Homo-oligomer: A and B are copies of this chain.
Amino acid sequence: MQLTRHADYSLRVLIYLSLNRDKNVTIDEINDFYRISRNHLTKVVHTLSVNGFINTSRGKHGGMRLARDPGGITIGEVVRQMEPHFKLVECQSEELGDCRAAPICSLKSVLDNALEQFLSYLDGYTLADAVRPDASLAYLNKLPIGTSRNSRD
Protein backbone atom coordinates (compact mmCIF):
# COMPACT_ATOMS: atom_id res chain seq x y z
CA MET A 1 0.00 0.00 0.00
CA GLN A 2 1.59 3.22 -1.13
CA LEU A 3 0.99 6.52 -2.83
CA THR A 4 2.40 7.19 -6.28
CA ARG A 5 5.55 9.25 -6.53
CA HIS A 6 3.42 11.78 -8.28
CA ALA A 7 1.58 12.48 -5.02
CA ASP A 8 4.78 12.08 -3.01
CA TYR A 9 6.67 14.60 -5.13
CA SER A 10 3.68 16.93 -5.11
CA LEU A 11 3.83 17.16 -1.34
CA ARG A 12 7.58 17.74 -1.43
CA VAL A 13 7.27 20.53 -3.95
CA LEU A 14 4.55 22.23 -1.93
CA ILE A 15 6.57 21.90 1.26
CA TYR A 16 9.57 23.44 -0.44
CA LEU A 17 7.42 26.29 -1.69
CA SER A 18 6.01 26.82 1.79
CA LEU A 19 9.54 27.64 2.89
CA ASN A 20 10.05 30.01 -0.05
CA ARG A 21 7.05 32.20 -0.22
CA ASP A 22 8.90 35.36 -1.09
CA LYS A 23 10.39 34.40 -4.43
CA ASN A 24 9.86 32.50 -7.65
CA VAL A 25 11.22 28.99 -7.36
CA THR A 26 12.37 27.12 -10.45
CA ILE A 27 12.11 23.41 -11.18
CA ASP A 28 15.89 23.29 -11.27
CA GLU A 29 16.13 24.67 -7.78
CA ILE A 30 13.74 22.03 -6.44
CA ASN A 31 15.59 19.41 -8.41
CA ASP A 32 18.88 20.53 -6.87
CA PHE A 33 17.40 20.31 -3.42
CA TYR A 34 15.62 16.95 -3.57
CA ARG A 35 17.60 15.23 -6.36
CA ILE A 36 14.42 13.99 -7.95
CA SER A 37 13.97 13.16 -11.65
CA ARG A 38 13.74 16.55 -13.35
CA ASN A 39 11.36 15.27 -16.01
CA HIS A 40 8.94 13.85 -13.55
CA LEU A 41 9.19 16.99 -11.47
CA THR A 42 8.20 19.04 -14.51
CA LYS A 43 5.03 17.03 -14.90
CA VAL A 44 4.22 17.21 -11.22
CA VAL A 45 4.62 20.97 -11.28
CA HIS A 46 2.33 21.21 -14.25
CA THR A 47 -0.37 19.15 -12.55
CA LEU A 48 -0.02 21.22 -9.38
CA SER A 49 -0.55 24.29 -11.49
CA VAL A 50 -3.59 22.88 -13.27
CA ASN A 51 -5.08 21.99 -9.90
CA GLY A 52 -4.62 25.50 -8.61
CA PHE A 53 -2.07 24.79 -5.91
CA ILE A 54 0.64 26.91 -7.51
CA ASN A 55 1.05 29.67 -10.05
CA THR A 56 3.74 29.28 -12.67
CA SER A 57 5.34 31.77 -15.01
CA ARG A 58 7.65 31.14 -17.92
CA GLY A 59 10.64 33.02 -19.17
CA LYS A 60 13.42 34.82 -17.39
CA HIS A 61 12.83 35.18 -13.66
CA GLY A 62 9.98 32.77 -14.11
CA GLY A 63 9.21 29.90 -11.82
CA MET A 64 6.44 29.02 -9.41
CA ARG A 65 4.84 30.16 -6.17
CA LEU A 66 2.19 28.81 -3.88
CA ALA A 67 -1.18 30.06 -5.08
CA ARG A 68 -2.53 30.16 -1.54
CA ASP A 69 -1.37 30.46 2.04
CA PRO A 70 0.31 27.28 3.35
CA GLY A 71 -2.12 27.35 6.24
CA GLY A 72 -4.96 27.10 3.76
CA ILE A 73 -3.79 24.05 1.84
CA THR A 74 -4.48 20.74 3.54
CA ILE A 75 -2.50 17.55 3.03
CA GLY A 76 -5.78 15.77 2.45
CA GLU A 77 -6.70 18.08 -0.37
CA VAL A 78 -3.34 17.54 -2.05
CA VAL A 79 -3.50 13.76 -1.74
CA ARG A 80 -7.10 13.60 -2.96
CA GLN A 81 -6.25 15.59 -6.06
CA MET A 82 -2.78 14.36 -6.89
CA GLU A 83 -3.23 10.64 -6.32
CA PRO A 84 -4.70 9.10 -9.48
CA HIS A 85 -7.10 6.66 -7.82
CA PHE A 86 -8.15 5.05 -4.57
CA LYS A 87 -9.39 1.65 -5.67
CA LEU A 88 -8.03 -0.32 -2.75
CA VAL A 89 -9.46 -3.60 -4.01
CA GLU A 90 -10.77 -4.83 -7.34
CA CYS A 91 -14.43 -4.57 -6.42
CA GLN A 92 -14.02 -0.83 -5.90
CA SER A 93 -13.38 -0.22 -9.57
CA GLU A 94 -16.35 0.21 -11.85
CA GLU A 95 -15.32 -2.00 -14.77
CA LEU A 96 -13.63 -4.87 -13.01
CA GLY A 97 -15.83 -4.85 -9.99
CA ASP A 98 -17.70 -7.97 -10.76
CA CYS A 99 -16.82 -10.11 -7.79
CA ARG A 100 -19.29 -12.94 -7.40
CA ALA A 101 -19.50 -12.35 -3.67
CA ALA A 102 -20.55 -8.73 -4.10
CA PRO A 103 -24.26 -9.24 -3.38
CA ILE A 104 -23.55 -10.51 0.11
CA CYS A 105 -20.24 -8.79 0.88
CA SER A 106 -19.94 -5.36 2.40
CA LEU A 107 -16.18 -5.18 2.24
CA LYS A 108 -16.36 -2.44 -0.34
CA SER A 109 -18.24 -0.04 1.88
CA VAL A 110 -16.08 -0.86 4.89
CA LEU A 111 -12.97 -0.03 2.89
CA ASP A 112 -14.56 3.10 1.47
CA ASN A 113 -15.24 4.32 4.97
CA ALA A 114 -11.77 3.43 6.20
CA LEU A 115 -10.29 5.36 3.32
CA GLU A 116 -12.42 8.34 4.24
CA GLN A 117 -11.04 8.12 7.79
CA PHE A 118 -7.55 8.25 6.33
CA LEU A 119 -8.26 11.22 4.11
CA SER A 120 -10.20 13.24 6.64
CA TYR A 121 -7.39 12.85 9.10
CA LEU A 122 -5.13 14.38 6.48
CA ASP A 123 -7.69 17.14 5.99
CA GLY A 124 -6.84 18.20 9.50
CA TYR A 125 -3.27 19.16 8.62
CA THR A 126 -2.06 21.94 6.39
CA LEU A 127 1.25 22.56 4.68
CA ALA A 128 1.97 25.04 7.46
CA ASP A 129 1.53 22.24 10.01
CA ALA A 130 3.85 20.00 8.04
CA VAL A 131 6.93 22.14 8.49
CA ARG A 132 8.46 23.03 11.82
CA PRO A 133 7.49 26.60 12.53
CA ASP A 134 11.03 27.59 13.52
CA ALA A 135 12.53 25.92 10.46
CA SER A 136 14.10 27.60 7.50
CA LEU A 137 15.90 26.51 4.41
CA ALA A 138 18.95 28.44 5.57
CA TYR A 139 19.18 26.06 8.50
CA LEU A 140 18.64 23.07 6.27
CA ASN A 141 21.34 24.11 3.86
CA LYS A 142 23.91 24.20 6.65
CA LEU A 143 23.31 20.53 7.44
CA PRO A 144 25.69 18.04 5.89
CA ILE A 145 23.78 15.72 3.56
CA GLY A 146 22.67 12.57 5.30
CA THR A 147 21.86 14.18 8.66
CA SER A 148 18.18 13.76 7.85
CA ARG A 149 15.45 12.11 9.87
CA ASN A 150 12.73 14.07 11.53
CA SER A 151 13.56 14.45 15.22
CA ARG A 152 9.96 15.32 15.96
CA ASP A 153 8.52 11.82 15.93
Q: Which residues of A contact B (CB under 8 A)?
A: 1-5, 7-8, 11-12, 15-16, 19, 33-35, 75, 83, 85-90, 97-115, 117-119, 121-122, 125, 129-132, 135-136, 139-140, 143, 145-153
What would 20 more interface pairs be, CB under 8 Å, given A1-B2, A11-B107?
Answer: A2-B88, A12-B101, A15-B101, A15-B107, A34-B100, A35-B100, A97-B148, A97-B149, A99-B148, A100-B140, A103-B143, A103-B151, A104-B140, A105-B130, A108-B153, A109-B153, A110-B130, A111-B122, A114-B122, A117-B117
Q: Show 27 A/B contacts (Cβ-Cβ < 8 Å), sorted by A.
A: A1-B1, A1-B3, A1-B86, A1-B88, A2-B88, A7-B89, A11-B89, A15-B105, A16-B101, A33-B101, A75-B107, A97-B148, A100-B140, A103-B135, A103-B143, A103-B151, A104-B135, A104-B150, A105-B130, A105-B131, A106-B129, A106-B130, A106-B132, A106-B152, A110-B125, A110-B129, A115-B118
